[in-house]
Structure 1
Amino acid sequence: MTFHVLSVCTGNVCRSPFAAQLLAARLAEAGIDVEVTSAGTHALVDSPMTPEAAAMSRRAGVDPDAHAGRQLTAELVQASDLILVAAREHRARVLQLVPRASRRTFTLREFARIADFVARARTVDPSFTFASDDPAARVEEIAVSRGLAEPPATPQDDDVVDPYRRSPEVYAEAERLITVAVDGVARALAATASGGRGAA
């Protein structure tokens, strides 16, 4: 069955569509059957990505032109196997809509941080493999490891800065943070395709 990932930010015209497009491309390269979509907690419904965010996608080799802003709903959350949000405020909104989604909702940087912790812990036991080749099993592992991983220096370090209507420098920082985090998420989910070996 197709694995469903939902990327969430505020307006759904900057951070979440870029993260979704980049993650979809990374996972397609890894051969993971996945559908990655995006939505906003206060979406600019039917709006395209901002020109600056669209340029981020093009630099990453993905096409932003089909994007149209979409409002986050409980139905979208319920249909998703993993929800990756830009900042903690978005996680709070997801859980207001669907409290039971807590275990599968992370900020993008939080998921990548915990996945890195799990990968490093695995080096203690190189024989470790996953019992399941299902990305949902990896999400569950990340969820149960949430309290074990070293926390960020400040809570804000798990967020991606909002570049909307801000300077090119802020867009560049958002692009950098999202790219690094998406690469970490993709490594973690792609590891399921090899039984947990190597890819993470």
Structure 2
Amino acid sequence: MTVSPGLPGAPFRVLTVCTGNICRSPAVERLLAAGLAGGFRGGPPGPGGVEVGSAGTRAVVGAPISPQMAVLVAGRGVAADAFAARQLQESVVREADLVIALTRAHRSAVVELVPAAVRRTFTLRELARLAPLVDPAQLAAAGPRPAERLRALLPLAAAQRGQVAATPQDDDVTDPIGGSDALYARVFAQMEQAVEVVVGAVRRP
């Protein structure tokens, strides 16, 4: 049975979105799941009550994580196997409590599919800027688990959007597909840093 987002007892579902769903979004999916004690798409949520999945606007459906990115993910002790890319669809967006896009274009694609998702859709780097601005006490009051704190974070982070002056391109993470190992490493480091900021904000005492 599918449980609607936000209902008591439901896992907090995070969806990450890039283009092919074979590089950036699966890396963020796995890093977030590890950091938030969450589960992967298709399985039960972890003890943190969070379930993280991903999709692509032009997905290479059924493909695994790209080898260069898989090596980087696995190098952090995070599982990079048992993955199959899927296409972004309206139903996938509607099931998500939080959508994390890798670029502004991906964020726009999500909102075009489901306009009502605008206030729960951020780029990764945008969310990493906004989350630390939220009062930790407000998140702690929501409960001890990441799921409860993420649910509380959404409206609080959205309320901070107008207070952050950011260069628009700072919201984007470059697509390394077809690039060098050095480019992959730079992109991975950028994503990992942003994920660590978000996880740190959610898990602050």
- What's the CA shift for 1:190? 2.6
The residue correspondences of 1:45-194 to structure 2 (distance < 5 A) are 45-118=61-134, 128-130=137-139, 131-133=141-143, 134=148, 135-148=150-163, 150-152=164-166, 154-191=167-204
Q: In angstroms, what is the RMSD of aligned CA positions?
A: 1.7
**Distance in 2 of aligned mates of 1:102 and 1:35:** 20
**Distance in 2 of aligned mates of 1:118 and 1:129:** 8
Contact 1:86/1:108, CA 8 A, preserved across alignment = yes
Matched, 1:12 2:15: no
TM-score for the superposition, normalised by structure 1: 0.86
- Percent of counterpart pairs with the same letter? 45
- What's the CA shift for 1:117? 2.6
**Distance in 1 of aligned mates of 2:122 and 2:84:** 23
Q: Structure 2: which 5+ residue stretches go unaligned?
A: 1-9, 39-45
**Distance in 2 of aligned mates of 1:5 and 1:103:** 14
**Distance in 1 of aligned mates of 2:89 and 2:105:** 15
Cα deviations by residue, 1:124-163 (Å, 9 ceiling, x for unpaired): xxxx444423221111110111112x222x2111111110
State the one-letter code of the partner of 2:24. Answer: R
Q: Structure 1: which 5+ residue stretches go unaligned?
A: 123-127, 192-197
Contact 1:58/1:64, CA 8 A, preserved across alignment = yes
**Distance in 2 of aligned mates of 1:92 and 1:129:** 29
TM-score for the superposition, normalised by structure 2: 0.84
Which residue, 18, 21, 33 being the options, matches 1:24? 33
**Distance in 1 of aligned mates of 2:108 and 2:20:** 16
2:85 partner SS = coil
2:88 partner SS = coil
Aligned to 2:5: none
State the one-letter code of the partner of 1:189. Answer: V
**Distance in 2 of aligned mates of 1:90 and 1:59:** 27
Contact 1:161/1:170, CA 8 A, preserved across alignment = no
- Structure 1 moving runs of 4+ over 4 Å: none
2:161 partner SS = coil
1:61 partner SS = coil
Contact 2:132/2:198, CA 8 A, preserved across alignment = no
1:35 partner SS = strand
**Distance in 1 of aligned mates of 2:138 and 2:116:** 28
State the one-letter code of the partner of 1:32. Answer: G
